[in-house]
């Protein structure tokens, strides 16, 4: 499973990229707003750090306006993926963009039916929101599993990005459920690297070695 980092924060991207584990980056309007910077400026900077798919989301809610925005965003870098919200207008925009060979990531997916429609329209990626499904008392990982099964049975090439990841368990469960990618916040990536027994083991090895001298 590929790992994307889910942030628009440059320091976090630089740090995680230095670990050698980042295959791509996803952003959304809330993450860009949190940085208080211009969208294109942030996306340009991210593209100069990570050599992989970089999702930048459109703001418009009408298909022709989404396509206009997308055409501006793709000028920034060859790795740009246009993130489009799941809705009828979004599907129309995805169809137009896929015919132009522009990659799209259909976001805010909460059902396998939505994922199927996005894939039919030509989406390169779909982003089911695991954490937000959990938030309403359902099981986000089951959504990943359902979409993965449907895509496999019908030989659909659209890749699944497990999004709205809130903890390390989400990551391993999404990997087991067949997600192609998980897009993970920096805090969760850090948590994934840690285990109390690893820390204890390192401490023990060092103390044994130093005591033998
Ligand atoms: C990424 O593509 C999504 O926009 C993001 O994972 C949403 O996460 P949240 O539900 O924590 O806002």
- Global pTM? 0.97
ipTM over 0.90 threshold: yes
From the list 65, 83, 187, 213, the catalytic residue is 83
User: Position of tokens 């429609």?
Assistant: 117
Nearest to 123 by CA among 155, 149, 91: 91
In the chain, where the domains are located = 2-211
| 83 assigned to active site | yes
Q: What is the pLDDT of residue 213?
A: 85
Phi, psi of 203 (to 5 degrees): -60, -45
Q: Is 184 in the pocket of ligand 1 (CB under 6 A)?
A: no
Ligand 1 center–CA 102 separation, angstroms? 22
CATH, range 2-211: 3.20.20.70
Give, in order, the Cα–Cα distances in Å from 96 to each of 16, 89, 121, 128, 138.
34, 11, 9, 22, 34
Q: Are 49 and 10 in contact (CB under 8 A)?
A: yes
Nearest to 77 by CA among 111, 109, 42: 42
The burial of 68, by beta-carbon neighbours within 10 Å (0-12 exposed, 13-18 middle, 19 or more buried), is given as: middle
Q: What is the pLDDT of residue 82?
A: 98
Q: Which atom of ligand 1 is nearest to the CA of 185?
A: 6
Mean pLDDT by 10 residues, the chain (213 residues): 98 98 98 96 98 98 98 98 98 98 98 98 98 98 98 98 98 98 98 97 97 92
């Amino acid at each position: 499973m590929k790992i994307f980092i889910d942030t628009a924060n440059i320091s976090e991207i630089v740090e995680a990229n230095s670990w050698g584990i980042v295959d791509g980056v996803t952003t959304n309007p809330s993450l860009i707003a949190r940085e208080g910077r211009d969208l294109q400026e942030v996306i340009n900077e991210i593209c100069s750090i990570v050599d992989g798919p970089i999702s930048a989301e459109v703001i418009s809610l009408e298909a022709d306006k989404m396509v206009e925005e997308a055409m501006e965003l793709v000028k920034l870098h060859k790795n740009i993926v246009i993130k489009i919200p799941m809705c009828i207008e979004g599907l129309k925009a995805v169809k137009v963009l896929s015919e132009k060979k522009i990659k799209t990531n259909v976001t805010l997916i909460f059902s396998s039916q939505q994922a199927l429609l996005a894939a039919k329209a030509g989406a390169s990626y779909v982003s089911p929101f695991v954490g937000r499904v959990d938030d309403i008392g359902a099981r986000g990982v089951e959504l990943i599993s359902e979409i993965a099964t449907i895509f496999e049975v019908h030989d659909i090439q659209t890749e699944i990005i497990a999004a709205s990841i809130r903890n390390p368990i989400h990551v391993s469960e999404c990997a087991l459920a067949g997600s192609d990618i998980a897009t993970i916040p920096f805090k969760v990536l850090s948590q994934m690297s840690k285990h109390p027994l690893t820390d204890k083991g390192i401490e023990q090895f060092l103390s044994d070695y130093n005591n033998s001298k």
